[in-house]
Structure 1
Amino acid sequence: MDEYPFIKLIIENNITFEEYKELMAFLHKLNREFAEQKEEGLMDFTILLVRFAGMLNEKLNPDQTIEALKKEGYFPSLMDTFIEIIERDESKYKRG
């Protein structure tokens, strides 16, 4: 399971298949918006991270989810950008 940290996170947090599908649809949409904004020359993607954290299923921790998605290779550019933002301001975006 160490090779699949995102799947492990989904299982450990009792995410239903429906919740999983909603999460993946949301991530695809967010990734499209990220690509569009990047193409338009936008350089600050903090608002996308805030939306991600706000829309994420309450069973999941945003930081852990981002790390797990990155390790499994999901949405690499978006996850790298989120990690950069988090590292830039560690305490601001953590969920209680």
Structure 2
Amino acid sequence: MDKLEGKLHKLEFYISLLLQMVDDTKYPFFKLVIENQLSEEEVTEVIELCKQTEIDFYVQKEQGWVIYEDLLAQFVGQLNSKLPVNQVIKSLYDQEMYSELMGEFLSIIAKHN
């Protein structure tokens, strides 16, 4: 067991070094995922939430909606509690994932700050 724990500790150390090497400007969402220790399943849930929210966003937009605070509130309510909301939205936008949706959310957040 000590050998296994030693290997695990070494892997954790290597991952922490790799995290420091990650270019924050290219992959900020992935870095946030690692820093907050999300499982593969939890990341999949976040991605599925983003996909569904984006679909809802485009449906509402097509129907002529111009205010998306309720959609943001729904997104926040369903987002994994391990993740800081503002950082998730900003990192997804910066990583060019769901850019239009996240850009809208960033605008809403900026209005309320």
TM-score > 0.5, shorter chain as reference: yes
Deviations 1:58-92 (A, max 9, x none): 100110000000000011110110000000002xx
Q: Residue 70 of structure 1 aligns to a residue in which SS? A: helix
Question: Moved runs in structure 1, 4+ residues, more than 3 A?
Answer: none
**Whole-angstrom distance in 1 between the partners of 2:111 and 2:48:** 27
Are 2:92 and 1:69 equivalent residues in the alignment? yes
Q: Aligned residue pairs: how many?
A: 90
Matched AA of 1:52? F
**Whole-angstrom distance in 2 between the partners of 1:52 and 1:36:** 15
Please, which runs of 5 or more residues in structure 2 have no aligned partner? Answer: 1-21
**Whole-angstrom distance in 1 between the partners of 2:72 and 2:84:** 13
Please, which runs of 5 or more residues in structure 1 have no aligned partner? Answer: 91-96
Picking from 31, 37, 50, the partner of 1:14 is 37
Q: CA RMSD in A?
A: 0.6
Percent identity among equivalent residues? Answer: 37
Q: What's the TM-score, normalizing by structure 2?
A: 0.78
Structure (1/2) with the larger helix percentage:
2
**Whole-angstrom distance in 2 between the partners of 1:42 and 1:63:** 23
Alignment match, 2:72 = 49
**Whole-angstrom distance in 1 between the partners of 2:37 and 2:84:** 13
**Whole-angstrom distance in 1 between the partners of 2:76 and 2:70:** 10
Q: What's the TM-score, normalizing by structure 1?
A: 0.91
Matched AA of 1:45? Y
Alignment match, 1:80 = 103
Deviations 1:26-64 (A, max 9, x none): 110000000000000001100111111111101001100
Deviations 1:8-31 (A, max 9, x none): 000000000000011101110000
